[in-house]
A and B are shown apart, each in its own frame.
Chain A
Amino acid sequence: MLAEALRSGDRTKLPGRRHEGWRWTDLFGALTTVPPLNPERQALGSWSVPIALDGVVVRRFAAPIQGGVEHVTLEVPAGDHRVVLDLIEAGQGRYVRDLAFDFTLGVGASLERLVMIADDADAVSVATTHVQMQARCDFAQTVLASGARRQRVETHVDHPGGAGRVRLDGAYLLAGARHADQTTVVRHLGRDGESRQLVRGVVAGAARGVFQGRIEVLQGADGTDARLAHNGLILSDRAEIDSKPELEIYADDVACAHGNTIGALDEDALFYAMSRGLPEAEARRLLITAFVGEVAERIRHPGLRDQALIFLAAQAEAFDGEGR
């Protein structure tokens, strides 16, 4: 919807509160005008990630100068295994970008993907991924977000069932007035599919975290085993987390569950860490890093996992002085 608005320059095409799926990510309200499309890109940021990582395809996406629309496809041939690191890099200023990814996985193919998205605090940024899978595919994704004026990472997976597996994880660490939205839709189309999701987030200052996760099990997709968990921490009384985990089930022989918790940092754990000699700020950082770190620990590729942990630690560092 954002791409359409950018292409046509028509502000009324922007998604907003009128649209159920965008009630907490109001782009219409955030943008008083739609910036013109401009193919030029800002310079790549000095991301501390090596360009070449062993066995990993690293792709870097520079921010547009004004408005930018980009469409990226990736095909993993049957039986092949790929590891991808998508770095959606920050630019400067009030740019608006729409990134669309289309992944196609052949029979028995597997893809592990890490998305790290950085944006300017004034930017509006949406990245949408559609994944088409065949039988016996394995798709695993981790999204690490740091927010923007409005930022949304949306993933749709059509799961054919069979022996296929899907993992869709995410983490967000938000400070200042940043907003980040992680939205997932997993559609189980065939028998005996499995999907797992873990999303964790921490918000401080006046930040706002949004999580929407929908599991659909279509008629005939019996034997589906789908689980989703979202856990949020709110560190400040001005911060907000909105979440909506959804189950939409049309088959009876299934095991589907979701869990959703939102709370404050565990004071007992904090006390324990401090009684062991850690200064308060460090104790907080330790707890926050451990909380979101569990998401990174689920990444199979060791190089990718390390990058994720470094990213999260850097984000937690930025929390100092916030969240009281």
Chain B
Amino acid sequence: MAADVETLATVEALAGEKYAHGFVTDIEQEFSEKGLNPDVIRFISAKKAEPDWLLAWRLEAYARWLALDEPDWAKISYPPIDYQALYYYAAPKEKVGPKSLDEVDPDLLETYKKLGIPLKEQEILAGVEGASRYAVDAVFDSVSVVTTFKAELAKAGVIFCPLSEAVREHPDLVRAYLGTVVPTSDNYFACLNSAVFSEGSFVYVPPGVRCPMELSTYFRINASSTGQFERTLIIADKGAYVSYLEGCTAPMRDENQLHAAVVELVALEDAEIKYSTVQNWYPGDAEGRGGIYNFVTKRADCRGDRSKVSWTQVETGSAITWKYPSCILRGADSVGEFYSIAITNNRQQADTGTKMIHLGPGSRSRIIAKGISAGRSTSTYRGLVSVHPKAKGARNFTQCDSLLIGKDCAAHTVPYVEARNGSAKLEHEATTTRLSEDQLFYAMQRGLSQEEAVQLLVNGFVKDVLQELPMEFAVEAQKLVAVSLEGSVG
């Protein structure tokens, strides 16, 4: 996500392609056997040196997965996925959990440098005085390469580490929370993830602590024929606050690659979690060849009273996006927020939205979703706002706007609303329009080129969401929006 402008410009100039992160790192890797069976799951579990309960948990999920059907209700179409033709585990050789940065394979460091992700703390520190810092967990295929600023975070009591390390170091915490928000049987892809998940980040913020810096995880798919199945678990204890950001990229390939992640957030009393995503998986080429299939289950449990979870997502990549970050508003006066920008171009398909389940009295939610379709793409907002009888005085506001650029794209809005008490107040509005000719004309007669004018208008259209992102990422996201839409007009 934090690919800086220069990297972006350089790679683009060299490759003549719009996707800046499409290179492959040539590195020796270790794979599980191809396909999925209980032995592969045992192999993954053994690789991670997991306790028996976790292996049993995985195998149970696998058994459930076998009994489930792939969901087909979303407005996306793709050829059947051959789940036996994938590698479920891929890792750079001998580099499982390096102790210090010096032990990390230089090729890997080079990869992240190329992506613009600062992994060396001193490099980050060497930046401009007062520049904001953020800690990074870098996940490469199935393993975490390095996690920065761990020591400094530990001083504040914050645990930030790869999930596999958390299983070893903090088993009680993991066991108490893993699968409590997204149970193994939740849905087809979550179930698959529970069986084969290989890496992800674990965050625990103790009571009353405000996490001293932004946390972020950077996911990179590198190996071919490989699926990535990360699992992230974030717990904000009473009165804690954490802001977390994830970014993702993958090489350009002709094949489709599967990414099925699960993210679980738990917010206890008065806690707040801000979760931002800048998703820039390889979207496939203009003809729809290649690209990532992104089937993700993200859910937050606002368990405590007055807890708050805010999802912000900028979805520009992936051939297919199937993703509905949700909030279960269990606590009294808990708050859920969802801000989304979904941009599709060429032949991309996105079916994304949110679910706000109001269970606690006085719970409030706010949904702002902006979809932009260009080329031959399809973008769907699908959401649910559900108010249960006990959620007295619940409040929701939803706004979904779609912008169409071109004659061959499509935009859909499918909001479900279920209100089951007499004191809730729910509002929903949706619009679908194209870029206004008048506004384009105005911008162009002021001297902007057509592409610049479109960028300006699109940035205005998505501004409500961009301003929810942490500042340095908002700038990157804004550039990403422009890059994604390149070639969509004229």
Chain A interface (Cβ < 8 Å from any Cβ of B)? 20, 219, 232, 234-264, 323
B265 within 8 A of A: no
Is A236 a contact partner of B422 (Cβ separation < 8 A)?
yes
Q: Given A244-B416, A249-B402, A249-B410, A264 and B422 touching (CB < 8 A)?
A: yes
Residue of B nearest to A208 (CB): B420
Is there contact, CB below 8 Å, between A20 and B73?
A: yes
Q: Is B427 within 8 A of A261, CB to CB? A: yes
9 more contacts with CB within 8 A, not counting A234-B424, A258-B429, are A219-B408, A245-B413, A251-B404, A251-B407, A255-B433, A260-B415, A260-B428, A260-B429, A263-B426
Contact A232 B419 (CB under 8 A): yes
Which residues in B have their C-beta under 8 angstroms from that of A242? 416-419
Residues of B within 8 A of A248 (CB): 410, 412
CA distance A260 to B397 in the complex (A): 10
Establish whether residues A257 and B429, one from each chain, have CB atoms under 8 Å apart when the complex forms. yes
Q: B75-94 interface mask toward A, CB cutoff 8 Å, 1 = contact, 0 = none?
A: 00000000000000000000
Complex Cα gap A232–B425 (Å): 10
B381-401: CB near A (< 8 Å → 1, else 0) gives 000000001001000000000
- The reply to whether A238 and B389 form a contact with Cβ atoms under 8 Å apart is yes
Nearest residue (CB) in A for B434 is A252
Give the docked Cα–Cα distance between A234 and B387 (Å): 12
Residues of B within 8 A of A (CB): 73, 389, 392, 402, 404-434
Q: Are B432 and A260 in contact (CB under 8 A)?
A: no
**10 interchain residue pairs of minimum CB distance:** A252-B404, A260-B428, A247-B413, A252-B434, A263-B425, A262-B426, A256-B432, A262-B419, A234-B422, A257-B431
- How far apart are the CA atoms of A203 and B423 in the complex, in Å? 13
* Cross-interface CB contact of A240 among B404, B418, B427, cutoff 8 Å: B418
Q: Which residue of A lies closest to B384 (CB)?
A: A244
Q: Is the CB of A261 within 8 A of B404?
A: no
Whether A237 lies near B428 (C-beta < 8 A) is no
Question: Cβ of A257: which chain B residues have Cβ within 8 Å of it?
Answer: 429-432
Residue from A20, A237, A249 in contact with B404 in the complex, judged by beta carbons closer than 8 Å: A249
> What residues of B have a CB within 8 angstroms of the CB of A239 in the complex?
420, 422
CB distance from A263 to the nearest CB of B (A): 4
Please pick, from A236, A237, A246, A262, the residue contacting B413 in the complex, using a CB distance under 8 A: A246
B419 touches A241 (CB 8 A): yes
CA distance A211 to B402 in the complex (A): 22
B398 CB to closest chain A CB (Å) equals 8
User: Is B417's CB under 8 angstroms from A262's CB?
Assistant: yes
Q: Contact check, B414 vs A246: say whether CB atoms are below 8 A apart.
A: yes
Chain B residues lying within 8 Å of A240, measured Cβ to Cβ, are: 418-420
- The answer to whether A260 touches B431 (Cβ under 8 A) is no
Residue of B nearest to A265 (CB): B422
Bound together, the chains give a CA A20 to CA B414 distance in angstroms of 12
Chain B residue nearest to A260 (CB atoms) is: B428
**Distance to closest chain B CB from A204 (angstroms):** 9
Residues of the B chain whose Cβ atoms lie less than 8 Å from the Cβ of A263: 424-426
The reply to whether B420 and A247 contact each other, CB–CB distance below 8 Å, is no
CB pair B430 A245 closer than 8 Å: yes
Contact A258 B423 (CB under 8 A): no
A191 to B423, CA, bound (A): 42
Inter-chain contacts of B430 with A (CB < 8 A): 245, 247, 257-259
Q: Min CB distance, B42 to chain A, in Å? A: 37
Within 8 Å CB of A254, what residues of B?
404, 432-434
A260–B417 touching, CB < 8 Å: yes
Once A254-B434, A263-B424 are accepted as A-B contacts, the answer to whether A237 and B389 lie under 8 Å apart by CB is yes
Q: Can you list 25 A-B pairs with a CB-CB distance of less than 8 A? A: A219-B408, A234-B421, A237-B420, A237-B423, A239-B422, A241-B419, A242-B416, A242-B418, A243-B416, A243-B417, A244-B415, A247-B413, A247-B432, A254-B404, A254-B434, A256-B431, A256-B432, A257-B431, A260-B417, A260-B426, A260-B427, A261-B427, A262-B424, A262-B425, A264-B422
